[in-house]
Amino acid sequence: MGEENFKNRGELVFETLKREILDLRLKPGQMISENDICDRFGVSRTPVRDALRLLQEQGFVETVPYRGTYVTLLSLDNIKQMIYMRVAVETMVLRDFTQVRTPMVMEDIRHAIAQQKALTQEPGFEPEQFYHMDAQMHSIWFWAVKRQKLWEMLQAQQLHYTRFRMLDFITETDFERIIGEHEELFQLISQGDEKGLEESLKEHLYYSMKRMRHSIEVDYKDYFEEEPEEGRFVI
């Protein structure tokens, strides 16, 4: 029983820290103190070290000898390639979806957009709430064409892409623009306009990279790994 509780404490520390890294409550490059975590969770060093070891194995933190443990930085090259892959995959999924869409599934999309609108009307809503609603809407067409495994694979790219998307929403002020793009996608799906849908989706998924160019180079420069000069902002 004691061993089980010990394991559960380690899992709690691991899951909590992982979520805080993904939500950017623990920022890229931020130092993580074993002592602070022990005090915070009321546990000994052993479950904390186990949790940090798992986080390191999954790439969320790195330990620098004689310095400490730090949240890993974001790789802009990894993020660019993930966006490229997502555009390619989701374009094909939406092309299939336009052929099999049903009134019921279209109503699911309409409802998802309505929920996004309602959320943005709430004072002090959290960007991470919008992030999860956004992801839920995009997942609808993956599930409708039985490509949920592809969606799960895309969502599993948490280390860089998910954190970048969270930074995108944290720094975004024009949520009405995003909702407008979702409504445009909805209309193009309704019309079965595959060419228009492809262009709209590409612009929708790449927009954050363009919008955040200054933030990446200046405001949040310390969040990102150094890039080779020739590789900067080629998207």
User: Alpha helix (H) ranges present in the chain?
Assistant: 2-22, 34-41, 45-57, 76-100, 103-120, 127-144, 148-155, 163-171, 175-191, 194-211, 213-214
DSSP reduced 3-state for 70: strand
10 band by pLDDT with thresholds 50, 70 and 90: confident
Mean pLDDT of 133-153: 96
Domain boundaries, the chain: 1-71, 74-221
Fold classified for 1-71: Arc Repressor Mutant, subunit A (1.10.10)
pLDDT for 174 equals 87
The structure's pTM equals 0.82
Q: CATH code for 74-221?
A: 1.20.120.530
Band of pLDDT at residue 25, cut at 50, 70 and 90 = very high
Nearest-angstrom CA–CA distance, 45 and 216 = 36
